[in-house]
Amino acid sequence: MHQQGSLMPPLLGDVFCQCRSAETHPGVDPGGGGGGHAGDPSSASTSKPVTRQPVSGDWGSDPGQSAHPCDICGGPEQEHRLKVLFQVLDVNGDGGICVNDLTIGLKKLGVHRTEHELMKIVKAGDKDLDGQLDFEEFVHYLRDHEKKLRLVFKSLDKKNDGRIDSQEIMQSLRDLGVNISEEQAEKILKSMDKNGTMTIDWNEWRDYHLLHPAGNIPEIILYWKHSTIFDVGESLLVPDEFTVEEKKTGMWWRHLVAGAGAGAVSRTCTAPLDRLKVLMQVHASKSNSMHIAGGFSQMIQEGGMRSLWRGNGINVIKIAPESAIKFMAYEQIKRIIGSNQETLGMAERLVAGSLAGAIAQSSIYPMEVLKTRLALRKTGQYSGILDCAKHIFQKEGVAAFYKGYIPNMLGIIPYAGIDLAVYETLKNSWLQRYATDSADPGVFVLLACGTTSSTCGQLSSYPLALVRTRMQAQATLEEGPQMSMTGLFKHIIRTEGPMGLYRGLAPNFMKVIPSVSISYVVYEYLKITLGVQSK
């Protein structure tokens, strides 16, 4: 559902009834412009006079009525209505719609959109990046947009009768944290209601909102949370969006608490694999081949079963401060970049998310170093977290707590970027193909998308993660000098080859599916316990 302000312009459905002029001026171009040219959809309307049948409600009329809609506006030939709309908006008749065309064309029709909104429309549909929409791009954008609008319509239609009334508008806006009176709801309703029934059917809804940019609708935000739900041991994901309702009712912090609890359980269950990964990243080489079974055997022989969980305590403790700092930083950065939208576009999310991740990682990075040192420690080396921190400070100084900081920061961009891009691609693909009545993908689709995107993100940034871990651990290794990031990269490639940058990848991937599955199950359980409302 769009903000209340977006519901006020005159009905866009009138665009499709421009052929009213054809009743008195047969054969006149409904676009009001010059003659069409070969291959231009605008030439279609000049081929024959249009005979208009009298209808109630025009393009948005009830399908059950006996009257027949006009040949161009409301017939089953969707291509016709799209051609008419295209030629109306293609002000200069050059076969492409740019921001200027949209500004002039929509203004003539009494529809007012900001320049920012029009730029978003062109940017969303402009596949060949030439700054305008040709007819094919225009059609593709509108059809994709209609699918999103249908999802919104379905979510608003609480009675499931194919129509939206004022009570349903009030309830839906209330769900989004916007309280309005019945009089205001009726005013919104009248602005879209073409046939005076005081209800809005699908056609009226579509006509009205067709050229209004829509990002993630609240239903999609609600069902497709990613970083809050899935914990794979790395905290480089872009934070989730929350609806206005979730922010106003305090549901957002319950989601974060549920996510943190799920992450704690998930990390604890997969801690042995995580410790094995760290050992393989630091100690495995061509001369010291370490396999999964051998690695576990080595850990148990050295310190018993409990040693499998070394480093897990600090790994769990750092979830809460990192999640809280990242969420707060993300919200502040959204304000700084000047977005007044409820949700951000993918590029904006990547920038805001990466910056928020960098701020959070910078704040808790000493805990990352402690986690690596504790995972690598021998039996009896440290009595606990504070003892480990004390030893590092005394022997190596404060700078030791930021070893590996640069590769860690550099790893945020490929990890977050690829994870976000893959997840959004999979999400949008599912929404386009399978979302008809609801944006809810179901458990298995959500888990599959989350697992795939996280795996791709980890794979892309893994060499940087390995170099970070080795830099954190360098002081514990007796052999070899202390090396810089570039020095380590060169050393690994020279001595072990490119595959040396992927040591420990097997146990890392082995823990992805159990991590995602456990965190999702625990998250759902904690949501119920904390009273998080689900639609």
CA distance 362 to 430: 36
118-131 in b/e burial notation, b at 16+ Cβ within 10 A? Answer: bebbbebbbeeeee
Q: Any idea which architecture 244-530 has in CATH? A: Alpha/alpha barrel (1.50)
**Coil, strand or helix at 163:** strand
Supply the pLDDT for residue 435.
Answer: 62
Residues of the chain with CATH 1.50.40.10: 244-530
**Strand ranges (DSSP E) for 50-202?**
163-164, 200-201
Convert the pLDDT of each residue in 67-118 to its tens digit: 333 333 334 456 777 788 888 888 888 888 888 888 888 877 767 777 777 8
Question: DSSP characters for 366-429?
Answer: HHHHHHHHHHHPPTTS-SSHHHHHHHHHHHH-GGGGGTTHHHHHHHHHHHHHHHHHHHHHHHHH
Highest mean pLDDT: which range of 29-33, 297-301, 474-478, 525-529: 297-301
Residues of the chain with CATH 1.10.238.10: 76-227
**76-227 maps to which CATH number?**
1.10.238.10
Residue 55 reports pLDDT greater than 90: no
Residue 62 reports pLDDT greater than 50: no
CB 421 within 8 A of CB 137: no
Convert the pLDDT of each residue in 510-535 to its tens digit: 888 888 888 888 888 888 888 775 54
Helix, strand, coil share (%) of the chain residues, nearest 5: 65, 0, 35
Residue 325 reports pLDDT greater than 60: yes
Residue 158 reports pLDDT greater than 50: yes
Convert the pLDDT of each residue in 336-352 to its tens digit: 876 555 556 677 778 88
Confidence of residue 474 (pLDDT cuts 50, 70, 90): confident
Residue 309 reports pLDDT greater than 90: yes
